[in-house]
């Protein structure tokens, strides 16, 4: 399922080229594709907070999207380090 990040929070340090985006996603199926609008690339993603016994993990990162495998219908939280604007 493709999903735009649910109300992501952006943290930008003055003079920095790295943007930290934090948010929550998931809720359907066992795999979620998250798109972070307004960035050109995602450098790394940390996920956590599964409510089942299946811990979430990031499968792939491509441009401004990433895919997370998680327990069925679980929500997860994420922190993504991103570069550039679109």
- CATH node for 2-83: 2.60.40.3940
Alpha-carbon gap, residue 59 to 69, rounded angstroms:
7
> Is residue 41 pLDDT above 70, yes or no?
yes
For residue 46, give the nearest of 37, 55, 6, 63 by alpha carbon: 55
Alpha-carbon gap, residue 37 to 59, rounded angstroms:
19
Query: Domain spans of the chain?
Result: 2-83
73-85, pLDDT tens digit by residue? 889 999 999 987 6
Q: Give the residue, 16 or 18, on which the prediction is more confident.
A: 18
pLDDT value of position 86 = 47
The mean pLDDT value of the chain amounts to 83
pLDDT, average across residues 57-66: 94
1 touches 28 (CB < 8 A): yes
pLDDT value of position 62 = 94
């Amino acid at each position: 399922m493709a999903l735009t990040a649910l109300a992501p929070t952006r943290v930008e340090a003055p003079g920095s080229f790295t943007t930290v985006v934090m948010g929550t996603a998931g809720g359907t199926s066992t795999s979620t594709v998250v798109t972070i609008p307004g960035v050109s690339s995602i450098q790394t993603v940390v996920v956590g907070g599964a409510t089942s016994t299946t811990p979430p993990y990031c499968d792939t990162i491509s441009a401004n999207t990433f895919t997370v495998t998680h327990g069925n219908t679980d929500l997860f939280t994420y922190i993504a380090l991103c570069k550039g604007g679109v």
